[in-house]
A and B are shown apart, each in its own frame.
Chain A
Amino acid sequence: QKEVEQDPGPLSVPEGAIVSLNCTYSNSAFQYFMWYRQYSRKGPELLMYTYSSGNKEDGRFTAQVDKSSKYISLFIRDSQPSDSATYLCAMTTRGPGSQGNLIFGKGTKLSVKP
């Protein structure tokens, strides 16, 4: 079993839809959970990070962590064509800057159609 599983998609939604992106993991020691967005021909950029369980909201984006189910989600409200990108989840037992300890999902490719 992979440490982090993420459905690769592709996921295609109409503009304005609510998008739900998910990852499951097996290591219960993970404490920090991150979502990165990667546009085509660009490097990943950190969208949000959450420590332990709970929700975190930033504008149209909400990150949820359910440690009991080992399941994390990213919700995008009122999705826009500019949200079209690959979204990668990542997690670690340390902080988001813990290079070498970050385990990434393979990414979900999202396309938002006008």
Chain B
Amino acid sequence: KAGVTQTPRYLIKTRGQQVTLSCSPISGHRSVSWYQQTPGQGLQFLFEYFSETQRNKGNFPGRFSGRQFSNSRSEMNVSTLELGDSALYLCASSFGSGGTDTQYFGPGTRLTVL
């Protein structure tokens, strides 16, 4: 079974631009979560989508948004990029939402904002 895939793997943008990241979950998984990982803050939860509905949201500004499609693929958008948005963005999928379902992480998208 193929793992979680994320595209692109690397991205360089300049301040003020916007960016869209894509995540394809493991086949059959309906929950997709997004995380931001930085050396200073570690791994922080952005949001979770389950069956096209946002279920949980972390403490990030409204510039960070996402959506999920009917095939469970998800996209994350960051508008008006800031230098501090430079990070590894990880997507994780699981069969269900919450409980003991294991999350499987993708390799991440490395975003650099110049």
Contact = CB atoms under 8 A, between A and B. Distances in A.
A42 interface: yes
Contact of B108 (A43, A88, A90, A96): A43
B22 to A, nearest CB: 15
B33 interface: yes
Given A97-B96, A99-B48, A43 B106 contact: yes
Interface stretch (A13-21, A53-61, A70-78, A100-108): A100-108
A97 B55 contact: no
B94 A99 contact: yes
Q: How many residues of B sit at the interface, in one of the four size bands? A: 20 to 34
B3 to A, nearest CB: 9
A104 B44 CA distance: 7
Given A99-B56, A99-B94, A44 B43 contact: yes
Given A43-B106, A101-B98, 17 more contacts: A41-B108, A42-B107, A42-B108, A43-B92, A44-B43, A96-B103, A97-B96, A98-B98, A99-B45, A99-B55, A99-B56, A99-B94, A100-B58, A104-B42, A104-B44, A106-B39, A106-B42
Interface of B: 4, 31, 33, 39, 41-45, 47-48, 55-58, 90, 92, 94, 96-108
